[in-house]
Structure 1
């Protein structure tokens, strides 16, 4: 379900673009330092002024570079958390084995959630196996929605009914609430 993490594709593209630009700039600086470029003299300075900047300016520039580097690393690590991938589920019973796509179970579950007061839309991904199931639910609620009531109904009605339908003892679920911008 690609809609679970909409900005991830843009974030990864921007990270790759910024990384390539920084790698190119670093490669250019290293090549210029070792005299491999003919457009820049080896002894030429970075700044075209004869005066060297004050030590405070150099320290501030270094500090800003470190902060930008740390923020970029944080941004990169945030990209690693992805929504689980849905797959084919296999139920084994006395009569044999049944296989079905996980959205067969999540579609009615989402329909039930969308009937809750204040919920505009719901999406869910059921991943893992029968032995280790995982579920991610995204609830898009209106501005006036009672999130506590929605969460309580999920815990007491929706998820237990889904666990019973899938014949699971436990179903770890993470729920993400998003709010619409329209009133």
Structure 2
């Protein structure tokens, strides 16, 4: 699974949080007089900055435009967080000229989950199809108990369940990430 977007999000948010925290702490320290009482009561912007702003009529429109661009970028980032790469349906015909058969991804994943949950020692299975119809990717999480034969479970998932999935999707291969998790309880 490609974790780069999540890593970039976390890194960007941590850096932004650190910068804002440092700026806020510096402003608070100045306001409390930690840099001297004269600085605490002095205006934040000097007279030179005020003169610059007064002499350049483009300054406030430029600041407004920059704020709008930043707000739009933030909104686009926020909307991107809500989008999922989850596949809703699969088209089974590679050539749409003869019609299109759409298979709901939920039907495929439910059948796969049901099959794997019938294997001995499996407590639960959760599957998701991601990507595109042409290149679907499977994310499979299987929770198993201590009484499951792990090598046999892995073999059955690879040789039976995933092979049936490929046949159902009319694909030679489907990229899959399988996560197996041992759950406490009924040991041998």
Deviation string for 1:104-154 (max 9, x for gaps)?
Answer: 111111111011111011011112233212111100101232221111001
* Structure with bigger RCO (C-alpha 8 Å, 6+ apart): 1
The residue aligned with 2:45 is none
Q: TM-score, normalised by structure 1?
A: 0.59
The correspondence of residues 1-183 of structure 1 with structure 2, limited to 5 A, is: 20=17, 22=18, 25-32=21-28, 35=30, 37=31, 39-43=32-36, 84-92=85-93, 96-183=99-186
- Which moves more between the two structures, 146-155 or 90-99? 90-99
Higher helix share: 2
Would you say how many aligned residue pairs link Structure 1 and Structure 2? Answer: 130
Q: Does the CA-based 8 Å contact 1:102-1:127 persist in structure 2? A: no
**Larger radius of gyration, structure 1 or 2?**
2
The residue aligned with 2:78 is none
Q: Does the CA-based 8 Å contact 2:89-2:105 persist in structure 1? A: yes
Structure 2 runs not aligned, ≥5 long: 1-5, 38-80
Deviation string for 1:64-85 (max 9, x for gaps)?
Answer: xxxxxxxxxxxxxxxx9xx852
RMSD: 3.3
